[in-house]
Amino acid sequence: MIWTRIWQAISDMPQDIRGGVPTHWITAGNGPRQALLIHCSLGHAGGWSRMVAALDDVITAIAYDLPGHGRSADWDGVSDIQGVSTAMAADLLDHAGQGPADIIGHSFGGTVAIRLAVERPDLVRSLVLIEPVFFAVAVQDRPALQVQDDAHMRAYREALRAGDRMAAARAFTSVWGDGRGWDRLPPAQQQAMAARIHLIDAGAPAIYGDCAGILSGGKLAAITCPVLLIRGGDSPEAIAAINDGLARRIPQAQQAAIAGAGHMAPITHPAEVAEVARTFLQGVPIT
């Protein structure tokens, strides 16, 4: 089975320095389109397996582990984690040497994909942005929308300040998890999320504060490649505000919603997300 072959590839995942970081990645799929997949915070490259399986005939994908995730090196604790993640993505594509690629990013990975399109448009043929958590867009467009201060995020921050990483992970995933509920997650997964929970705040200067200046100087309007913005039909209101705001700023952007899905749509609804992505990609010329 394709799904089995993808997971077998994980054991042979390559490692090398990309963007100055020891990086692990997976290559999967047999399609004609080169693609780069960028996962969400607290995730890893293997999380794309079922979605890649559904697109096996369309894409040949590189999926890499972000800093501090999977088997890539830890985040150094001081650098702009989004900027480092973007440099890793660019370096992976430069080494692949196959021209522009279709970039598929989820959540924080979606914000990395946007930054890659701004900083290295030569590497980007199209963007598929699944629930990109570029909260600065929502803050700018809808200041009254509580994107940082809802009860769940307050509980997350309080637990993190108290040094209770497990409680912080529980609070965070109550909104941004896959809907199973914390107590239904395997203990090993709970522990892995708690160990990485500090990486959520690592991305805040970029996704809340726009430290890269992506919202200034017409940078989003300069993205000329086709863009698909996907959200879950049951996702938080902030995601719809972000996607609407990006669609207004990016010339060739279109939107889609996955009924019944939440923030982790590529994990919980991989076939549905893949089908929407397939239809979109079929309309984007390879050359």
Helix, coil or strand: residue 64: strand
pLDDT more than 70, % of the chain: 94
Which of the four pLDDT bands, split at 50, 70 and 90, describes residue 152?
A: confident
The packing angle between helices 108-119 and 81-96, to 10°, is: 60
What pLDDT digit, counting tens, does each position of 250-280 carry? 999 999 999 999 999 999 999 999 999 999 9
Helix, coil or strand: residue 175: helix
Which of the four pLDDT bands, split at 50, 70 and 90, describes residue 176?
A: very high
Average pLDDT over residues 167-190: 94
Evaluate if residue 69 carries a pLDDT over 80: yes
Averaged confidence pLDDT in the chain: 93
How much is the pLDDT for 13? 61
What pLDDT digit, counting tens, does each position of 77-132 carry? 999 999 999 999 999 999 999 889 999 999 999 999 999 999 999 999 999 999 99
Evaluate if residue 4 carries a pLDDT over 60: no
Other C-beta atoms within 10 Å of 10: how many? Answer: 17
pTM: 0.94
Which CATH superfamily groups domain 2-144+206-282? Alpha/Beta hydrolase fold, catalytic domain (3.40.50.1820)
How much is the pLDDT for 73? 97
Please check whether residue 61 is in contact with residue 28, taking contact to mean a CB–CB distance below 8 angstroms: yes
List of residues 6+ apart from 23 with CB closer than 8 A: 15, 16, 17, 64, 65, 72, 73, 88, 92
Query: Phi first, then psi: what are they for 25, rounded to 5°?
Result: -150, 165
pLDDT more than 90, % of the chain: 89
List of residues 6+ apart from 147 with CB closer than 8 A: 135, 138, 139, 208, 238, 241
Query: Phi first, then psi: what are they for 105, rounded to 5°?
Result: -125, 140
Residue ranges covered by each domain of the chain: 2-144+206-282
| CA distances in angstroms from 210 to 5, 16, 61, 138, listed in the order given | 39, 29, 28, 12
Average pLDDT over residues 212-224: 97
